Amino acid sequence: MTDPIVIVGAGGFGREVLDVIEALNATRPTWDFLGFLDDGAPDEDLLHRRQAKVLGPSGALADIDAHYVIGIGSGEVRIRIDALAASFGRKAAILVHPWANVGSDTELGEGSVLCAFASITTHVTMGRHVQLNPGCTIGHDVVLEDFVTVFPGAAVSGNVLLRRGVTIGARAVVLRGLEVGQGSTVGAGAVVVRPVRRDEIVVGVPARPL
Ligand SMILES: CC(C)(COP(=O)(O)OP(=O)(O)OC[C@H]1O[C@@H](n2cnc3c(N)ncnc32)[C@H](O)[C@@H]1OP(=O)(O)O)[C@@H](O)C(=O)NCCC(=O)NCCS
């Protein structure tokens, strides 16, 4: 039996999330994908090529009895959409691509998406709507709080704490045991060698505030 699901956000990452759903269904029919919800003007041609349609704006979740997942890279936007969905009593799905690696004794929060080749090892704890993009690695005992985004190829070392809404840029590295403060962004390619304060943007090697 399959469960109905919608993706909120029909942009680039939303279409990547559809890839995850299709890969899961190819392994075992799991989800009945109804369509996207989007508050903007997504590329209709690209959606048509995926035989997908936009069912309405995010507020249409009020009338669609389905699981939802948020295909939007911005943690701030995910916070807003999650609150809206909760107000309608909707439940977020957890999507783990069959080619993702999930180690032992891990906790995945509702709404989390693990793309192909994302890897989490052992004793990792993830909050709500965490996004792990292709090829990122999350080491042992890492805590990723709600709405964290890890972009492609980033490496988060063991015992790191990523606070709510943190973004780790593509190919960035966070060294072992460090904390990245709430709402902060680590730029693409940066190497974080000391703790990052709240609401900071850090870039470079070693990473320094922008
Ligand atoms: C760090 C980041 C958040 C800065 O974004 P921004 O605030 O819009 O900054 P700007 O693009 O205006 O750049 C400001 C300055 O920082 C520099 N800069 C931007 N990103 C940088 C990075 N990752 N490393 C080093 N320097 C960077 C720019 O060259 C510019 O320098 P200048 O003032 O000397 O010209 C962004 O560039 C980034 O790396 N985001 C990560 C997201 C990511 O990986 N996305 C991948 C999606 S698949």
Tokens matching residue 34: 């109804």
Average of per-residue pLDDT values in the chain: 98
State pLDDT tens for residues 138-152: 999 999 999 999 999
Cα distances (Å, whole numbers) of residue 197 to 179, 182, 201, 209: 8, 8, 9, 9
Q: How much distance in Å is there from the Cα of 22 to the middle of ligand 1?
A: 33
The pairing of strands 125-126 and 3-8 is: unpaired
Q: How much distance in Å is there from the Cα of 105 to the middle of ligand 1?
A: 35
- The mean pLDDT of 52-72, rounded to a whole number, is 98
Mutation to probe ligand 1, out of 203, 205, 208 (largest number of atoms < 8 A from CB): 203
Q: Which CATH architecture best describes the domain 3-93?
A: 3-Layer(aba) Sandwich (3.40)
Residue 175 near residue 157 (C-beta atoms within 8 A): yes
Q: Can you list the alpha helix ranges (DSSP code H) found in the chain?
A: 12-27, 44-49, 75-87
Amino acid letter at 13?
Answer: F
Q: How confident is the model at residue 20, as a pLDDT?
A: 98
Please tell me the pTM assigned to this model: 0.97
- The mean pLDDT of 11-28, rounded to a whole number, is 98
Pocket of ligand 1 (CB under 6 A): 151-152, 169-170, 185, 187-189, 201, 203-204, 210
Query: How many other β-carbons are positioned within 10 Å of the β-carbon of residue 199?
Result: 11
State pLDDT tens for residues 183-205: 999 999 999 999 999 999 999 99
For 58, which DSSP code? G
Closest ligand 1 atom to the C-alpha of 172?
A: 44
Amino acid letter at 69?
Answer: V
- Would you place residue 3 in the very low, low, confident or very high pLDDT band (cuts 50, 70, 90)? very high
Q: How much distance in Å is there from the Cα of 187 to the middle of ligand 1?
A: 6
Residue 147 near residue 77 (C-beta atoms within 8 A): no
The pairing of strands 208-209 and 201-203 is: antiparallel
Domain boundaries, the chain: 3-93, 94-202
Amino acid letter at 118?
Answer: A
Identify the CATH number of the domain defined by range 94-202.
2.160.10.10
